[in-house]
Amino acid sequence: MHRSFALVLCGALALAAPCVAAANAPLAGDTFVVDPGHGTRYPDGRPLNVGAVAPDGVEEARIALAVSSDLAAQLRAAGARVVMTRTVAAPYRVATNKNADNRARAALANRIGATAFVAIHGDSSLDRSAQGTSVFWLRSNSEPLAAAIRTALRPLGLGESQFRRRHLAVTDEAVVPAVLVELGFISNPHQELLLTEPAFQRREAAALYDAIRRTYGA
């Protein structure tokens, strides 16, 4: 093997193992907080922050949790540490104030020094023709991830609703890179159908993972 070619393949045989490890775990050493929107209840079990519900009963909170769970699995497979604010095993958070609960989730990302905080939601409108994904961020350290997510979601064909800086409870609170993603409109009959399909949920999770890997991967 020519030396120049060997350099391309990590420089020397002694470096081969670390290079293979980096390829297999591009997010090793990173920590992500994945926040499936809504799903909060009062201590007595009453709903506090349930999110949008489509006319036929499809819940934003369930779609957000499904996509978040798929995303978390992909991030962990890439070597990252993932903290989820709710899980399939524990699908509800407990709180007494919705805004305080929203801020607490972003504050968690600050406290653990997360690489990034990603909040996942589904959109809704009284106009059933409204469609498209949205990506919101606030601080300049969040813009590279927001732009990468915008690009990664485009091939899904949902269209774009909004892409802009926005003051929200989580974006105001987070000092680590933070984005809030609207996966599409559950109030739109066509997009609701897509968003409830496990195969499409996995495609959305894969798009989010790809954006994160491109932004932070080794």
Q: Which domains does the chain have, with CATH numbers?
A: 27-216 (3.40.630.40)
Residues 6+ positions from 203 with CB-CB distance below 8 Å: 156
Measured in whole angstroms, the distance separating CA 173 from the mean position of its chain's CA atoms is 17
Backbone φ and ψ of 203, nearest 5°: -65, -40
Alpha carbons 173 and 159: distance in angstroms, whole number: 29
φ/ψ of 169, rounded to 5, equals -55, -45
pLDDT in tens, the chain (218 residues): 333 323 333 333 334 445 545 668 999 999 999 999 999 999 999 999 999 999 888 999 999 999 999 999 999 999 999 999 999 999 999 999 999 999 999 999 999 999 999 999 999 999 999 999 999 999 999 999 999 999 999 999 999 999 999 999 999 999 999 999 999 999 999 999 999 999 999 999 999 999 999 999 97
Distance (Å) of CA 117 to CA 83, 109, 177: 10, 6, 6
| Whole-structure pTM value | 0.89
pLDDT of residue 21: 54
d(CA 73, CA 77): 6
pLDDT of residue 22: 62
